Chains A and B, each alone.
Chain A
């Protein structure tokens, strides 16, 4: 009963390094999304996907890339990390058509860029 699984849980990067945050879900949800959470800012949408092969930008997409080659996986890539990307990142999934369903969240990745 895994739900949404994010890895890693913690990561420290140096400015300019690249990395990929992994997100996988086993609920066959079509809709997946990435949020970042900063103190006092709620959850801000980075990118989302409504199905395999389809992605779109959210509110704060700059500095991040995504792809969706399978229904299960939705990785988030930082090509050149910056201190402004220090944050807690959450991946979420919902069923298709999905404004009428709750989102299930992964446990988060705490990223620090130094």
Chain B
């Protein structure tokens, strides 16, 4: 059975801090790893990492895939209160996306 584990499960920081969220996985036939941000409603897509694209960056957010360690990190620098959300990691294998339980990030002013 495919498994995705995220850590920490929750995190409270102050505005301006840098945070690192972790995701590890055990899946058969790994194809991709995806990060989503979920505020009040549906998850919104952030990044997809594959064997041919192991590092992505967008503004203050960046993510790296370590295929040897079967893991990924999501970094957020200079955090803002608007970054408060649940961050979900998902791994694509065969036709399925398997999600972790998510990291609840709270950024206090």
A residues in contact (CB < 8 Å) with B = 31, 33, 35, 40-45, 48, 50, 56, 58-59, 90, 92, 94, 98-108
Q: Are B95 and A31 neighbours in the complex by a CB distance under 8 Å?
A: yes
Known contacts A44-B99, A105-B42, A107-B41: does B32 contact A100 (CB below 8 Å)?
yes
Known contacts A100-B32, A105-B42, A108-B41: does B99 contact A42 (CB below 8 Å)?
yes
Q: How far is the CA of A31 from the CA of B90 in the complex (A)?
A: 16
**A-B contact sample (12 more), CB < 8 A, given A43-B43, A43-B99, A99-B97:** A33-B96, A43-B88, A48-B96, A59-B1, A59-B98, A90-B43, A94-B97, A99-B31, A99-B96, A100-B31, A100-B92, A102-B34
A71 to B: closest C-beta gap in Å = 15
Q: Are B95 and A108 neighbours in the complex by a CB distance under 8 Å?
A: no
Q: Are B99 and A99 neighbours in the complex by a CB distance under 8 Å?
A: no
Q: Are B95 and A48 neighbours in the complex by a CB distance under 8 Å?
A: yes
A109 to B: closest C-beta gap in Å = 11
Q: How far is the CA of A1 from the CA of B31 in the complex (A)?
A: 29
Using a Cβ–Cβ cut-off of 8 Å, how many residues does chain B contribute to the interface with A?
Answer: 27
Q: Which residue of B lies closest to A102 (CB)?
A: B45
The B81-108 residues at the A interface (CB cut-off 8 A) are 88, 90, 92-102
B71 at the interface (CB under 8 A from A): no
Q: What are the residues of chain B within 8 A of A98 when measuring CB–CB?
A: 92, 95
